[in-house]
Each structure stands twice: as structure tokens, then as C-alpha cells.
Amino acid sequence: MMVTLTGFADEISADLEEQMDLLSSEGISHIELRSVWQTNVMKLSDEQAAKIKERLDARGFHISSIGSPIGKYSVRDDFSPQLADLKRAIELARYFGAQYIRIFSYYIPEGEPAANYRDEVLSRMSRLAQMAEQHNVILLLENESGVYGDTDDRYLDLLQSCQSPNLRSAFDPGNFVMNRVRPVTDAYPKVESFIEYIHVKDANREARQFVPAGVGDGQLKELLLALKKRRFSGFLSVEPHLQKYMPDSTNPERFRTAIHAIKKLLDETGLEWN
């Protein structure tokens, strides 16, 4: 049993070569593709995608997931463009040989009860999942702050109610902390059977600040032990967000700090990685 480290390499640099240089030096050969050359993955032209693939192939890198912003919009926004975006994300996933596409569950208007929008969100999630089933890709639903599925119960509700094998969890402990949910104590037991992918992000509850893995309230060590117990062999995707925690450091320094933090926890828990 072995997990695979990957990461949102655009937090290292906008330049693909600089992204790969740092990851390669840390023994990592996967990238969660969110943006390159200051261009979001969904806005990449076919020519840009071809150039990226050529460089990835030349250096032995692989794409673990298409880090799309699908669903990171107001629930009141028109849904049609999202279906077109998913079609493009599926094309990119196939082109890069990735099985996964990261999505979100729509922002709820501030000050309004999330329950008022459950039916609309569920309808959208179901339609996205149906398209994923038709094209044999897996959507990874992230528990982002401010969206319908930002708490453990609503997150579980979406995953259960869609009843799709192609809608799975990208479990983000740091985001749960930011929403006053204990990631392993409260959320993990509820959604364990849906977890397919992990975002390595920790946070300090009181300071409301993202921190390196193991430093905050994200219960990262407990999470790794739980994953080890269930013989999880998927991706751990490093997503540092350490600008506030390390304001005087460079992006590469922040990312390397985040990688070293998760490697330390992997060593402590005896979880092997590649």
C-alpha cells in the first residue's frame, strides 16, 4: 500500500518548468493542473495544452487531476456554461490521461439559509455526475468554504443524494477547520466511504489561517492513520495556501515547507509514498 504525492503546482510558480523543478527535487512526479502561465486550466488553448503535455512527457510528469473551478460560482448563475466547462474538462482529462476532475457545490448567497438552495444544488450536481458517468471520469467534490457543501452534513447529503459512483470526495481538512468542523472527529466517519482523494491543507481554527500539515487543527496525523487503516492508496494533493502564515517567504519556499510537513507526518505514521 502506497499513497502518491501530487500538488497544486501553480502555488510554486506560474512557470511550468519551475513547477516541475521543485517537485522533481522533492521526488514528486504528479501535478494537479489548475493553472500554468497565469492561465486557468479551463482557458488553455489546444496549443497550450499540447505544449504542456510535451514538457510533462519529456520530464516524466503526470496529471493527477484537472483542478477546475466548476461549481465555484453562485448558485444563482446560469448553469449552462458549467455543462460546457465540464465537457472541456473531460476533454482535458482524457488528453492528459487523468481520471479525476475537481469541482465545487456552488456559493450560497450571503445571509441566506443554505437549505433554500438544496434542490437547485442537488439538481446541478446530479447533472454533472451524469455527464461524468457517460464519459467515464470521476468528479472530486471539494468541501470549499461558502459553498453548499462546506459543512460535513451538507457535504454528506450531496454525496449520498446524487448516488453516483462518479461523484466522490476530495477531502480537505483545512477547509473543514475554517467551517468549524473537526475533520477527522466529525467529518471523516460520515464521508469515509466516498473519499477518493485528499487535499493536504491544514488550518488554525482561532486564527483562521492556513498552516503547514500537522501545525493546525486539521487532525492531519489522525487522518493519515485513518487512511492507513483503510489501506488508502490514492493521491495526497499538497495545496499550501501559506501566504499569511509565511508572508515574507517566496512561493517556492512556502510550497517546499508544505511538502516537508506532509512528508514528516507520512514518516511518523509509517505511510509509504511515491
Rounded to the nearest angstrom, the gap between the alpha carbon of residue 139 and the centroid of all alpha carbons in its chain is 11
Rounded to the nearest angstrom, the gap between the alpha carbon of residue 28 and the centroid of all alpha carbons in its chain is 17
Coil, strand, or helix at residue 112? coil
pTM of the model: 0.96
How high is the pLDDT of residue 150?
97
Grid coordinates representing 62 are: 503526470
CA distance 149 to 19: 31
Q: Please list the alpha-helical segments (H only) found in the chain.
A: 16-25, 46-59, 80-96, 118-135, 152-162, 173-178, 188-191, 220-229, 251-269
Grid coordinates representing 79 are: 448553469
- DSSP letters, 192-218, are GGGEEEEEE-EEETTTTEEE-TTTSSS
Asked if residues 133 and 166 have their Cβ atoms less than 8 Å apart, the reply is yes
Burial of 1 (0-12, 13-18, 19+ CB in 10 A): exposed
From first to last of the 274 residues of the chain, give the pLDDT tens digit.
799 999 999 999 999 999 999 999 999 999 999 999 999 999 999 999 999 999 999 999 999 999 999 999 999 999 999 999 999 999 999 999 999 999 999 999 999 999 999 999 999 999 999 999 999 999 999 999 999 999 999 999 999 999 999 999 999 999 999 999 999 999 999 999 999 999 999 999 999 999 999 999 999 999 999 999 999 999 999 999 999 999 999 999 999 999 999 999 999 999 999 9
